[in-house]
Amino acid sequence: MSVSLVLLLSMAVGMVTVSPVVGVATPTATPLATPVATVSPMVGVVTPVATVSPMVGVPTPVATPVATPVETPVATHVATQLLSAMYGSLSSPNFPEPYPRHSALRWNISVAPGYRLRLYFSHFHLEPSYLCQYDYVQVEADGEVLALFCGLDQTDTEDVPSLKIISSPRNSLSVFFCSDFSDEERYTGFLAHYSAEDVDECSERSDEELVCDHFCHNFIGGYYCSCRYGYLLHSDNRTCTVECSDGVFRERSGVLSSVDFPSPYPKSSDCSYRIEVAPGFRLRLQFDPRFDVEDHPEVLCPYDHVKVLAGSSEFGPFCGDRAPPEIQTDSNVVTVFFHSDNSGENAGWSLQYTSIGSKCPALETPPNAMLNPVQSEYSFKDHVLFTCSPGYRLLKDGETLDHYQLDCQSDGSWSSSPPLCYKTDSGRKRRALSTILTNHSPD
Ligand SMILES: *[C@@H]1O[C@H](CO)[C@@H](O)[C@H](O)[C@H]1NC(C)=O
Ligand SMILES: *[C@@H]1O[C@H](CO)[C@@H](O)[C@H](O)[C@H]1NC(C)=O
Ligand SMILES: [Ca+2]
Ligand SMILES: [Ca+2]
Ligand SMILES: [Ca+2]
C-alpha cells in the first residue's frame, strides 16, 4: 500500500476522534454580513446604503443572516495574532469587561512539529443565538472546524466549551472570535488557555502500519525508529531493509528465497540473486507453492515483485499468492530480482534451481560396436565409451584402438563422430582394407 494512502487514512482517523462537535460545526450560516461592512475600508459608504436601502428586490444584508460564508469576506480584514510559545492564553477584547460589538479577531497558534495543542476555556460568556449565528468562537485546525461555541449554557443548538479540552490533530490551531452588531446585554466574553504537548507517535497507529517498521522510540517533540539486529534503517528513517545482493550461487542446484522466508520479507529492499553454473548447463527454476508477494487487484505488481532475467529472456514480474509456473531458461546465468516497497507483511517466496546440461543428439550404435553406458539421452558432461564385439577392432582416423570415448560437449554436440568396428583378422584384413582405400582414392 502506498504511503500517501496510509497517511490519508491516518489523518481521517485522527480527524474523527479529535472533533467532537463536527455535527454542529458547519457554519455556512453566518452571523450576518456585518463584519464585511464594518471592517471594510469603505465602511462609511457601504453600511448606510446597505442598511437603509430602499431598493426593493435587493435583499438587505440584515434580513438575510444565512447567506454569506464566514471566511471569505471576513478573513482578509481580521486582525490576526500569531502565537508560537509552548503555552499561553487568549481572551475576548476588553476581557474581563464585556466585549464590544462588531469585532472579529483571530489567534493562530503554531508550535514545532511533533507537538499538538490542547485548548480549554476557563471562562465563557457569549450572546446565545440559534446555531451560533450572532457572536461565536470557532476553533479550526488544518482547514477543519473543530468546534463552534456560543451562548451561556449547552442547548440543542448552542455548544459551550464547559471543561472540554480541544486537541489539535497537528501542531497548529486557529481560534476565531466574532461579535455581531447587536449588544443587548453585557456579555463578558471568554478566556482560554493552550499548551503544547508531545505527540506519542509510537502509540498512534495508522490504519494498518506502525509508524516504525521494527522499533519506535518516542521522545518529547519527536520520535525515531530503529531496526532488529541484521537490518538497516532505510533512508526513509522508518522501514528496515536488508543487504541482500551479494554472493553468487555456483552449485549445480540449490535453494534461494526472500529473506526470512516464510516469515514476512523486509520492506524497502531491492535484492538480486545471481546463479551462475558452468557454460553448457541451462538453469531451471521451480517456485515453492508457498508464494506470497504483495499484489494489487487491478494493477500488475505495483508494490512488490519477483523478476527473473536469464540471458536475453525476462520472466515476470511475479506477485500475488500463486507461485509462478516452472521456468526453463536456456541460460547458465540467471539473476532473480526482488523488490519490496515500504509497507505490507507478506511471506515471500522460495525457489529451487537445478541445472540441466545441453542435450547431445541421439547416438546410433554402429554395427558390431557396443556403447557404454546406454542411455535414452545424453547431455553435457556425459561420456560414451565405444568398444567392438570380439573379433572386431576400432578404427578411428587411421588408427586401430581398443576403445574410443565420445564426450557430450557444452554446446550440445559430440566431441567427434562415432568410430567404426572392423573385423580383425590380423594383417590380412589390414591389407585388404588398405587395398580398398587405395582402390577408392583414384576414382
Ligand atoms: C491563520 O489561520 C487561518 C486558518 O488556518 C488561515 O486561513 C490564515 O491565513 C492564518 N493567518 C495568518 C496571518 O497566518
Ligand atoms: C532521516 O534522518 C536524517 C538524520 O536524522 C535526516 O537528515 C533525514 O532528512 C531524514 N530523512 C527523512 C526522509 O526523513
Ligand atoms: Ca452580539
Ligand atoms: Ca513524541
Ligand atoms: Ca510490500
Q: How far apart are CA 252 and CA 261, in angstroms?
A: 22
CB 369 within 8 A of CB 420: yes
Q: Do you find a cis peptide bond into 373, omega within 30 degrees of 0?
A: yes
Burial class (CB in 10 A: 0-12, 13-18, 19+), 109: buried
Query: How, if at all, do strands 359-360 and 378-379 pair?
Result: antiparallel
Is residue 343 within 8 A of residue 209, CB to CB? The reply is: yes
Query: Is 171's C-beta closer than 6 angstroms to any atom of ligand 1?
Result: no
| 3-class SS of residue 399 | strand
Query: Could you tell me which residues come within 8 angstroms of residue 190 by beta carbon, excluding any fewer than 6 positions away?
Result: 91, 92, 95, 121, 123, 124, 125, 126, 137, 161, 177
Dihedral sign of CA atoms 192, 154, 178, 117 in order = positive
Sign of the torsion formed by the C-alpha atoms of 33, 38, 39 and 45: positive
Q: Cα(89) to centroid of ligand 1, in Å?
A: 18
Give the chain's domains with CATH numbers: 18-198 (2.60.120.290), 202-233 (no CATH), 246-357 (2.60.120.290), 361-440 (2.10.70.10)
List pocket residues of ligand 2, CB cut-off 6 Å.
236-237
CA of 409 to the centre of ligand 1 (A): 79
**Residue 5: half-sphere exposure toward Cβ, Cα within 13 Å:** 7
Going from the Cα of 106 to the center of ligand 3, the distance in angstroms, rounded, reads 17
φ/ψ of 407, rounded to 5, equals -115, 135
| pLDDT reported for residue 31 | 39
SS3 assignment, position 26: coil
266 to each of 4, 39, 128, 206, 215, how far by Cα in Å?
20, 59, 58, 19, 14
**Which of 149-171 are b and which e, b meaning 16 or more Cβ less than 10 Å from the residue's Cβ?**
bbbeeeeeebbbbeeeebbbbbb
* Residue 126: predicted pLDDT: 95
Mutation pick for ligand 1 pocket among 72, 77, 80 (CB with most ligand atoms within 8 Å): 80
What pLDDT, on a 0 to 100 scale, did the predictor assign at position 430? 53
Compute the residue count for the chain: 443
Q: Which of 219, 225, 237 to mutate to test the pocket of ligand 2 (most atoms within 8 A of CB)?
A: 237
Looking at all shown ligands, the one closest to residue 226's CA atom is: 2
DSSP 331: -
Q: Which atom of ligand 1 is nearest to the CA of 108?
A: 1
CA of 128 to the centre of ligand 1 (A): 26
Task: Give the Cα separation of 99 and 92 in Å (integer).
Answer: 6
| CA of 237, closest atom in ligand 2 | 1
Beta carbons of 193 and 87 less than 8 angstroms apart: yes
Q: Which ligand is nearest to the CA of 238?
A: 2
Is the minimum distance from the CB of 174 to ligand 1 under 6 angstroms?
yes
**pLDDT values of the chain reduced to their tens digit, one per residue, 443 residues:** 443 433 333 333 333 333 333 333 333 333 333 333 333 333 333 333 333 333 333 333 333 333 334 443 444 478 999 999 999 999 999 999 999 989 999 999 999 999 999 999 999 999 999 999 999 999 999 999 999 999 999 888 889 998 899 999 999 999 999 999 987 778 999 999 999 999 998 987 665 566 898 999 999 999 999 999 999 999 999 999 998 887 799 999 999 999 999 999 999 999 999 999 998 899 999 999 999 999 999 999 999 999 999 999 999 999 999 999 999 998 999 999 999 999 999 999 999 999 988 888 888 888 899 999 988 888 888 899 999 998 888 888 888 888 999 999 888 889 998 888 888 765 445 544 554 555 444 44
| CB of 140 sitting under 6 A from ligand 1 | yes
| 178: phi then psi, degrees, rounded to nearest 5 | -145, 135
370 forms beta bridges with 387
For residues 153 and 166, what is the distance between their CA atoms, to the nearest angstrom?
18
User: pTM (2 decimals)?
Assistant: 0.59
- Ligand located closest to 208 CA: 5
How is residue 283 written as a grid cell? 538453469
Other CB atoms within 10 A of residue 302 CB: 14
Beta strands in 111-221 (DSSP E): 115-125, 136-141, 144-149, 166-167, 172-178, 189-198, 215-219
80 lines ligand 1 (CB under 6 A): yes
